[in-house]
Chain A
Amino acid sequence: MLDGRGAVRRRAGVRLWLSALWLGLLVGAALLAPWIAPKDPLAQDLFLGRLPPFWMAGHEPGYHLGTDSLGRDVLSRILHGARIALVVAVVAGSVTCLLGAALGLMAGYLRGWVDVVISRFIDIWMAFPPVLFSILLIAVIGPGLGSIILAIVIIDWTRFARVVRAEAMAQGAMDYVASARVAGRGRIGIMLREILPNVMPTIVVLLTLEMGIAVIVEAILSFVNLSISTDDPTWGGMIAEGRTSVHQAWWVLVFPLVTLFLTVLSFSQLGEGLKDRFDPVLR
């Protein structure tokens, strides 16, 4: 029994460190992109279009992962794309988290009409395919980095609100809350000092998941041509371009796809790893 749990914890630990390592590399790439990127991510050269990556015949020195149909360097675009991806992940993730968790906490602890109103909104949101919702919002508010972040916040707050509401409701029924009330704490005080710390592990896990989701949403919007602009290097935009030329130049799709895949996987594994850390039973 003990051995089994030890193995599970070791495996969880390895996953946690691998994801942290990948995300650390991404942060490094995002910060240092202008200095480490071998080429200008926007520079086009039609004579150097669809160059293969470095190990294949016909490659050009300096273009390590090949070029897209406009002759732009894939590696440089991935490195610069990390900036946009991480900004979206961190900003959209945390704002969504703040809004959703606050509403969920209020609905779950205050109950009454606050809960009725918030829950009704959650129901309405749940009846709407999120991808369609985000495309609709971007069509309305126009493309751009700020729009994408706003759209993610507007759509995904329910992910936090639903879960936090349920947890806050469960915590609110516990004896320690009753005794805090007897001790004369106010409702806001109980919410922030008693309930929030107990819901925090869940919120942190959801936050890491949301960061991964935000990156995907940006990619999806780029894919339907509604993201930042077609020139700016985004992973989603690269994937969209790669999809159309996948039979001629697979590398234009593969490299940004692998990057996106590992990033999303790392965010969620980070969340899983943190959950194990927070779980008092396992700790």
Chain B
Amino acid sequence: MRLLQSVLVRLATTAVTLFGLAVIVFVVIRVVPGNPVAMMLPPGATEADVARLSALYGLDKSIFQQFLIWAGGVLQGDFGTSITARQPVLELVLGRLPATLELSIMALIIAIVIGGLAALTGTRLRGTRVEGGIDVANGVALSVPDFLWGLVLILLFGVLMPVFHISGRVTPSLELPFVTEFYLFESVVRLRFDLWSDIVAHMFMPALALAIPLSAIIGQLLKQSLKETMHLDYVTLSRTKGYGETHVILREALPNAALPTLTLVGVQFTFLIGGTVIIERLFSYEGLGNMAIDAVINRDLPLIQGIVILFAVIFTGVNLFVDMMYAALNPRLRHA
């Protein structure tokens, strides 16, 4: 019962957040001087042409009226029509979402693998030079944001040692038999490992750039948490049973140390998703973020609104998911 109540409260505050965000974005992008419609028409267009097209997109009404119309549409699943692409916003946005989701999740996995290995190695070899080296690397990785890591990776593995692709999502000349936009996932399902390796070679650099700062956060937090756990009595007791250091870390300390790290990874993962906007631009990756920047530059108001709301839904959804995971993984909460 308490669980249901807390979920309801969460959903209510989420709704308030989304509504507030929608209002702010709606107002902010309509303060833009200059009519976006004017940019779409050829130079010789008359005032009447502009007015007609404005009426078509509802831009001649007051901001308040426009908001009501837009919000009414959203509640029925209609996010309006993109001004530049002249297609439904929902269709456009959902078409790009898989690319961004695949990139973010791949980045998350890379971050967990690198961060986890760094933390475990640092704990196993604590007090040695290796641990010191890991700490320094973590510090640097943490201080420099994904945008710069992306540029560094472009230089290192795109130019100096060109082993990965630094532009696009897939080699354009390849024939894609896919029915969904989840290329990475579908290539595995269809056992097309030739396509899969091409997609991974394109995704790896942007995913790694996104992953580096998060891996440092995971590495630092998990290592700290592990170090505290290693002093606890049940870890000592496990040693007396005849287990070696590695086993003790993995089975006794890690499950308990991972839990506090998990809650923080949730918030950090939303930051990572936010980072896809510029990273996709940097690597010309055809995802939601790249589309968002184009939408802003083209002043495609309905599209901007749609993308912003979608990002907000993803962010709040991730946070909700992490909280549920935490409850599910923590035996104390599970049986309470």
Which residues of A approach B to under 8 Å, CB–CB?
120-121, 123-124, 126-132, 135-137, 139-140, 212-213, 216, 219-220, 223-224, 239, 243, 246-247, 250, 253-254, 257, 260-261, 264-265, 268-269, 272
Contacts and interface: CB of A to CB of B under 8 A. Distances in A.
* 4 A-B pairs with the lowest CB-CB distances in the bound complex, closest first: A129-B274, A268-B143, A127-B312, A131-B277
Contacts of B143: 212, 264-265, 268-269
A127 B308 CA distance: 9
A131 B278 contact: yes
Of A128, A132, A223, most buried by chain B (CB within 10 Å of CB) is A132
A273 to B, nearest CB: 11
Contact of B275 (A131, A135, A264, A268): A131
7 contacts: A127-B18, A127-B316, A132-B311, A219-B147, A223-B282, A239-B151, A257-B152
Contacts of B316: 127
A250 B159 contact: yes
B202 interface: no
A95 to B, nearest CB: 20
A272 B136 CA distance: 12
Contacts, number: 118
Contacts of B292: 129, 132, 135
A262 to B, nearest CB: 10
B56 interface: no
Given A120-B20, A224-B281, A257-B151, 17 more contacts: A123-B13, A127-B312, A128-B311, A132-B293, A135-B293, A135-B296, A140-B32, A213-B145, A216-B145, A216-B148, A223-B278, A224-B293, A243-B282, A264-B143, A268-B142, A268-B144, A272-B139
A272 B142 CA distance: 11
Interface stretch (B21-29, B66-74, B230-238): B21-29
Given A123-B17, A124-B21, A129-B289, A261 B152 contact: yes
Interface string B295-312: 011010000100110011
Contacts of A247: 159
A128 B312 contact: yes
B296 A132 contact: yes
Contact of B16 (A120, A126, A250, A264): A120
Nearest to B149: A261
Contacts of A257: 148, 151-152, 155
B45 to A, nearest CB: 22
Nearest to B22: A124
Contacts of B31: 140
Contacts of B139: 269, 272
B17 A127 contact: yes
Nearest to A264: B144
B277 A132 contact: yes
B293 A140 contact: no
Nearest to A4: B127
Contacts of A135: 277, 292-293, 296
Contacts of A123: 13, 17
Nearest to B315: A127
A136 B28 contact: yes
Contacts of A126: 270, 315
